[in-house]
Amino acid sequence: MLADRSRLHIALQKSGRLADASRELLRDAGFRIQSGKNSLTARVENFPAELMFVRDDDIPTFVSDGVCEFGIVGQNVLEEFALGEPDQRYEVLAELGFGRCSLRLAAPENLRFDGPQSLAGTRIATSYPRLLTRYLKEQGIEATVVKMNGAVELAPRLQIASFICDLVSTGATLEANGLKPVGTVLESQSLLIRTKRPLDEAREAISAGLLSRIDGVLATKE
């Protein structure tokens, strides 16, 4: 099925930490979202837009490719994607103020840490290998980056790595796993992004309407 090209397509996380806040932002902006919880798409009843509910990791690709003109995604996911894509075909329109977290380096509580140099020659487990590699390069440190797709906090106990680099919000998960934060690689929050692929005049006008409504909501939250 071809996407309806008279409408805008907005990629949102289907379920997870950004899902509710993303929908709430659109509702606050006055968009009436057709109900139906398990559907992969939903129409906006009072605006020519359609929501696409996807995995957050797919959102940068969809927006870059122009499959969706807009998307809401965490800066951590977006920047990890961007580091693997020299040709960036999206732009960041707004910081949305939710989904805040930090990509942190952490170590077992009893491990001695005297600054970034303590990372030299070690193994560091992460789901964000490109962001971590960039950080290590900036610090002039050589270490081995071990990619894990989840349960990164277990890596030291499993002796897969001595350090981890993972997202932290409250810090409770680190603590529960006997880990302490020792450095910050990235501060993140959710972002509104837009494709750089050109839109026709009609959809450019719809885009302007979408943005001004979202800007209106963000202004009240500043």
55 binds ligand PRT (CB under 6 A): yes
Residues touching ligand PRT, count (CB under 6 A): 21
Chosen from Zn ion, ligand PRT, none, partner binding at 171 (C-beta under 5 to 8 Å by type): ligand PRT
Q: Is 57 in the site for Zn ion (CB under 5 A)?
A: yes
Binding residue for Zn ion, selected from 10, 51, 53, 56, defined by CB under 5 A: 56
Pick one of ligand PRT, Zn ion, none as the site partner of residue 32 (Cβ within 5 to 8 A by kind).
none
Spatial distance between the Cα atoms of 113 and 18, rounded to a whole number of angstroms: 33
Nearer to Zn ion, 56 or 153 (CB): 56
Q: Is 28 in the site for Zn ion (CB under 5 A)?
A: no
Nearer to ligand PRT, 54 or 206 (CB): 54
Closer to ligand PRT by Cβ: residue 139 or 189: 189
**Angle, alpha carbons 47-217-66 (nearest 5°):** 50
C-alpha pair distances (Å), 96 with each of 25, 127, 134, 145, 179:
9, 23, 25, 31, 30
Minimum distance from CB of 182 to ligand PRT (Å)?
A: 15
Cβ of residue 2: shortest distance to ligand PRT, in angstroms? 25
Phi, psi of 149 (to 5 degrees): -90, -5
The residue among 119 and 153 lying less far from Zn ion, judged by its C-beta, is: 153
| 61 is an interface residue for Zn ion by CB under 5 A | no
Q: Does residue 80 bind ligand PRT (CB under 6 A)?
A: no
Cα dihedral sign for 148, 149, 153, 158? negative
- What's the min distance (Å) between Cβ of 78 and ligand PRT? 9
Gap between the Cα atoms of 79 and 59, Å rounded: 12
The radius of gyration of the chain's CA atoms, rounded to the nearest angstrom, is 20
Residues 117 to 176 in contact with ligand PRT, rule: CB under 6 A? 166-173
